């Protein structure tokens, strides 16, 4: 079994905005410093840097999905984001992966449930939606709290569909608070009876459930970039940005970690014999 690390990359990039230091290369420095910290902590054999695509399916289900969000007006962030992804794809040896019409969450779900279903997987994100993926082999690491997230006490997607998700502008079922959601999500018969009494209530729940539930993806549409670790170019990137604490005495540890996880990997879906025969 491999140890696989799945990085919710935009989640990490936004955390890098508020990290240590100032200057024109703050996000680049903080991103890689935090990434290296997670690689040290989890000691992966393979690391996926998962990029965001457009949430087309969620928008079809709920046109105002994430409609409450204002685009970040920060030219430095968008410039450094591109610089980070360029380095990831050309220098680090880590696996860059993206689906142009699906969110990062869906790609992470595909990697955890399909490609690495027989491996030990750790997802790094502060996004609670990944709770639905937690199993014996799939863990969710909260990088700010520096702890693993517990598996939910009932079906997480059902519970959240009842409550809604204000962060993504997903309305839940009208009038449902956390205690009522606990009761309904704990018993599917009670939930069915509750929803069947009101068609509008049932519609609200079904839309929210389908939006929150991670989507299936067509693996043929994935954009994947892999390369071997290029120590010279990686070093030059930090040197040009004057990241002295990285390229000094600590550099050999960076080389060891990225050389271990970086390279060309077989990332074909792992299917059991029965499924393959079908």
**pLDDT at 277 exceeding the cut of 60:** no
**CATH 3.40.50.1010, domain 3-152+215-263, yes or no:** yes
Residue 125 confidence (pLDDT): 98
The answer to whether 231 and 259 are in contact (CB under 8 A) is: yes
Q: Is the pLDDT assigned to residue 265 strictly greater than 50?
A: yes
Burial group, residue 268, by CB count within 10 angstroms (0-12, 13-18, 19+): exposed
Q: Closest Cα to residue 145, out of 120, 118, 127, 168?
A: 127
- Domain positions in the chain are 3-152+215-263, 156-212
Q: What is the pLDDT of residues 118-166, one digit of tens each?
A: 999 999 999 999 999 999 999 999 999 999 999 999 999 999 999 999 9
Question: 34-85, pLDDT tens digit by residue?
Answer: 999 999 999 999 999 999 999 999 999 999 999 898 888 899 999 999 999 9
**Residue 22: per-residue pLDDT:** 83
Helices (H) and strands (E) in the chain, counts: 13, 9
Q: With bands split at pLDDT 50, 70 and 90, how would you rate the model's confidence at 271?
A: low
Pick the closest to residue 106 from 14, 13, 219, 208 (CA basis): 219
The count of other CB atoms within 10 Å of the CB of residue 37 is 12
Mean pLDDT score across all residues of the chain? 93
- Residue 164's nearest CA partner among 152, 176, 148, 155 is 176
Q: Which of the four pLDDT bands, split at 50, 70 and 90, describes residue 275?
A: very low
The pTM score is 0.93
- Residue 232: per-residue pLDDT: 96
pLDDT in tens, 174-203: 989 888 999 999 999 999 999 999 999 999
pLDDT for the residue 160 = 95
CA end-to-end span of the chain: 25
pLDDT of residue 273: 39
Pairing label, strands 95-98, 46-50: parallel
Distance of CA 149 to the CA centre of its chain: 14
């Amino acid at each position: 079994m491999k140890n696989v690390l799945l990085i919710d990359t935009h989640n990490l990039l936004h955390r890098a905005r508020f990290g240590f230091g100032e200057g024109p290369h703050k996000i680049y420095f903080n991103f890689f410093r935090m990434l290296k910290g997670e690689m040290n902590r989890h000691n992966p054999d393979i690391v996926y840097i998962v990029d965001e695509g457009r949430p087309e399916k969620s928008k079809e289900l709920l046109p105002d999905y994430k409609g409450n969000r204002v685009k970040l007006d920060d030219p430095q962030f968008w410039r450094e984001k591109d610089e980070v992804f360029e380095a990831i794809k050309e220098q680090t040896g880590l696996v860059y992966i993206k689906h142009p019409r699906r969110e990062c969450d869906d790609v992470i779900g595909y990697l955890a449930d399909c490609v690495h279903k027989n491996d030990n997987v750790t997802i790094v994100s502060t996004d609670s939606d990944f709770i639905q993926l937690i199993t014996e082999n799939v863990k969710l690491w909260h990088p700010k709290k520096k702890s693993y997230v517990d598996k939910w006490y009932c079906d997480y997607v059902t519970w959240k569909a009842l409550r809604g998700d204000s962060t993504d502008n997903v309305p839940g079922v009208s009038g449902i608070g956390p205690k009522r959601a606990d009761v309904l999500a704990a018993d599917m018969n009670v939930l069915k009876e509750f929803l069947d009494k009101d068609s509008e209530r049932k519609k609200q729940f079904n839309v929210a459930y389908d939006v929150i539930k991670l989507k299936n993806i067509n693996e043929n549409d994935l954009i994947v970039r892999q390369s071997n670790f290029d120590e010279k170019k990686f070093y030059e990137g930090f040197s040009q940005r004057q990241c002295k604490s990285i390229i000094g005495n600590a550099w050999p540890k960076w080389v060891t970690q990225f050389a271990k996880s970086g390279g060309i990997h077989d990332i074909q879906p792992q299917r059991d014999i029965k499924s393959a025969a079908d």
